[in-house]
Amino acid sequence: MTDMPDVLPATENPFGGILPQADSLDADPERFAQRLQHSIDTWREGGYRVVWLEVPIERAALIPVAVTAGFGFHHSNVEYLMLTLQLEQGAFVPAYSTHYIGAGGVAINDRDELLVVRERYHRDPKRPPRFKLPGGALHQGEHLADGVVREVLEETGVHTRFDALVCFRHWHGYRHGKSDIYFVCRLKPLSEEITIEAEEIAESRWMPVQEYLDAEQVSGFNKQIVLAARNSPGFASTDIADHDDKSRFEFFRPLLEDS
């Protein structure tokens, strides 16, 4: 008589999901197939709705087994592939991340000069490169205020301090068909000497704000956000009493004219 295989060790989520422990998956595909099927039957009987199966890259041989059992791909990174199986018809499986997040900095010095950059590479080689605001993509787990200060420093060598969030743009059909949210922040310059990041930036300089606003080669969007940074008080970084873990949460509130 063949012994019944053990159910895979797993944890629950609050939405009726069951998550097998990645380090408990059998390296042998045949043994894994037996345990996985027994586990699926057990979890279905237990009323769970969705199985979230994280397969580490070193156990990639198990992926065909999971697909044969009915799992579908959900998302992946350099360390694992996540698959899901609906145990209940119509069970909700949330989509993976759909957006990129970036930030640009409006840094204006005491002489009413704006810090601008001209990228070494741009999307349309037939069009002359435009001066734009320094900035770029946030790193995973990085706060918005920290990310824009870092990006400006990396591209221009200028140290700044976050002052306020002034506007943002939501754009669909970006890289790999994902959407993009680009935040614009007003920054206080703490230094003025420029040292460009030569791999990405062809030129950076302090340009009189009015010259920037009058320049034909500057996009209308960039002109509008510079005006917003100059004329709007914006949204200040603030603390929220019941969300005191500053490593996870970042909040912004309207900065009132008389505050």
Task: Sketch the domain layout of the chain as residue ranges.
Answer: 10-86, 99-254
- pLDDT attached to residue 145: 95
- pLDDT attached to residue 57: 96
pTM for this one? 0.75
Phi and psi at residue 57, in whole multiples of 5°? -60, -30
- pLDDT attached to residue 188: 97
Distance CA 119, CA 129 (A): 7
Q: Domain 99-254 is of which CATH architecture?
A: Alpha-Beta Complex (3.90)
DSSP H or E stretch at residue 99:
strand 99-107
pLDDT by 10-residue block (mean), the chain, 259 residues: 79 93 95 96 96 97 97 94 96 87 95 92 65 92 95 96 93 83 96 90 94 90 91 83 73 68
Distance CA 207, CA 138 (A): 25
Domain 10-86 matching CATH 3.40.630.30: the answer reads yes
